[in-house]
Amino acid sequence: MLTNLKPQPADKILQLMQMFKDDPRDDKIDLGVGVYKDASGNTPVMRAIKAAEKQLWEAETTKAYTGLAGDPAYADAMVALVLGTSVERDQVAAAATPGGTGAIRQGLELIRMAAPDATIWLSNPTWPNHPSIIKYLGIPMQEYRYFDNETGGVDFDGMLEDLGKAKAGDIVLLHGCCHNPTGANLTLPQWAEVIALMQDMGLTPFVDIAYQGFGDGLEDDAAGVRMVASEMPETIIAASCSKNFGIYRERTGILMAVGQDKALHKVTQANLAFLNRQNYSFPPDHGARLVSMILTDDALRADWQAELEEVRLGMLDLRKNLASELQRLSGSDRFGFLGQHRGMFSRLGATPEQVETLRRDHGIYMIGDSRMNIAGLNAKTVPILADAIIKSGI
């Protein structure tokens, strides 16, 4: 049997990680891996997580399974965090998942069950796990334009034109704030236009949100997805706690299915539990329990939000400093979009050859399409990167 297996393509990010590790240069800079790092290059455990873990260790009395959909307290806390008061709680079916990718997988499984003829529309670019899972599940997919390489912003006209080719019943995979790998985000008026188009055409949104709190704050970052959930008949949402709680290895995610028709809640919830049963039975609980503890404890939540705000403002400062230094060196404002982007990522707009020059000549590692992790920088390396960008002819 095993002789029939075929080699799988290597993961480009993992390859880049190995190349960086093997590079002997002391001044090398890693901007490739999508993990938050502080100024020292570490991915710290947040203070509130440490405190919650200590409380849990002292109070936990069992390691028995939770329900198939996970701990209800976690679902309640995450629905409140992501959706606020935009919809009523009994309009949302929810199930805990192993990370945001697990939520994406379960959401796609749900779509395949409920709408087998639907095509999934993906932004270009998107994250590699999106098309990979969709292709593996055998679901048809199409792309819509998203990024304007010339302006560094959203190609909104192209996006609307491409989505205008979808058919009723199709699914549109949208990115919450800071989630698109380019760093470019839809404005609230643009969210409203996308919602109007989906309503007119009978499309269903599937929102992937993993960086709430990294852009303009917890509430502002959720405004787009809340608008979608409150105005569309049905909305699928995949959310992750890996980034904003810093619990990457705990694999803590959640899938939500929002329906304006409350009569569908019970059967939808049962189907989410069914899908969990088919894939991994009971979802992991440790990270989910920490998240629910933090979100329901005033002191823990206040400390978490304070540290998350420090992270957000730190990345914003790095963006502004990089854009300013590039303006000084280039004598133009062509890199101004870097200061306008939000979150961990930005797409520089460099060619693969220029990205290779950055790696070869300057020890600067980023993805081949020039997507870079802003959190991989610090005050010392910002001017080094800016100088390398200009010297590489970008």
Q: What is the pLDDT of residues 22-62, one digit of tens each?
A: 999 999 999 998 899 998 889 999 999 999 999 999 999 99
> What pLDDT is attached to residue 173?
98
Confidence of residue 288 (pLDDT cuts 50, 70, 90): very high
Token pair 């608008």 is at which residue?
227
> What pLDDT is attached to residue 11?
80
- The overall average pLDDT reported for the chain is 96
| 44 contacts: CB under 8 Å, gap ≥ 6 | 38, 246
Tell me the domain boundaries of the chain: 12-46+301-391, 65-296
To the nearest 10°, report the CA torsion of 192, 91, 255, 374.
40
Mean pLDDT of all residues in 199-225: 98
> What pLDDT is attached to residue 193?
98
Q: Which CATH architecture has domain 12-46+301-391?
A: Alpha-Beta Complex (3.90)
Mean pLDDT of all residues in 158-172: 98
> What pLDDT is attached to residue 39?
87
The rounded percent of the chain whose pLDDT value lies above 70 is: 100
Confidence of residue 274 (pLDDT cuts 50, 70, 90): very high
Query: Residue 98 belongs to what H/E stretch?
Result: strand 92-98
Pick from 133, 127, 28: which is nearest to 385 by CA? Answer: 28
CA distance between the termini of the chain: 49
CB 222 within 8 A of CB 235: no
> What pLDDT is attached to residue 351?
94
pLDDT for 263 beyond 90: yes
Mean pLDDT of all residues in 127-142: 96
What's the pLDDT tens digit per position in 168-178? Answer: 999 999 999 99
CB 44 within 8 A of CB 386: no
> What pLDDT is attached to residue 334?
93
What is the dotted CATH code of the domain comprising 65-296?
A: 3.40.640.10
pLDDT for 14 beyond 90: no
pLDDT for 143 beyond 90: yes
Mean pLDDT of all residues in 135-143: 97
3-state secondary structure of 142: strand
Pick from 364, 384, 366: which is nearest to 318 by CA? Answer: 384
What's the pLDDT tens digit per position in 52-110? Answer: 999 999 999 999 999 999 999 999 999 999 999 999 999 999 999 999 999 999 999 99
In terms of C-beta density within 10 A (0-12 exposed, 13-18 middle, 19 or more buried), how is residue 2 classed?
exposed
Confidence of residue 10 (pLDDT cuts 50, 70, 90): confident
Residues designated as active site: 127, 208, 210, 243
∠ CA 283-235-135 to the nearest 5 degrees? 65
Residue 131 preceded by cis peptide, ω within 30: no
CB 159 within 8 A of CB 128: no
> What pLDDT is attached to residue 264?
95
Mean pLDDT of all residues in 323-329: 96
CB 122 within 8 A of CB 111: no
> What pLDDT is attached to residue 9?
84
> What pLDDT is attached to residue 15?
87
And the tokens for 217? Answer: 């704050």
Distance CA 236, CA 57 (A): 34
The sheet that has 92-98: what strands, in order across it?
Answer: 92-98, 252-259, 234-240, 204-209, 171-175, 120-124, 141-145
| 145 contacts: CB under 8 Å, gap ≥ 6 | 123, 124, 155, 158, 159, 161, 162
| Helices marked H in the chain | 12-22, 47-59, 72-83, 99-114, 129-137, 156-163, 188-201, 218-221, 223-231, 265-279, 286-296, 298-330, 337-340, 352-362, 381-391
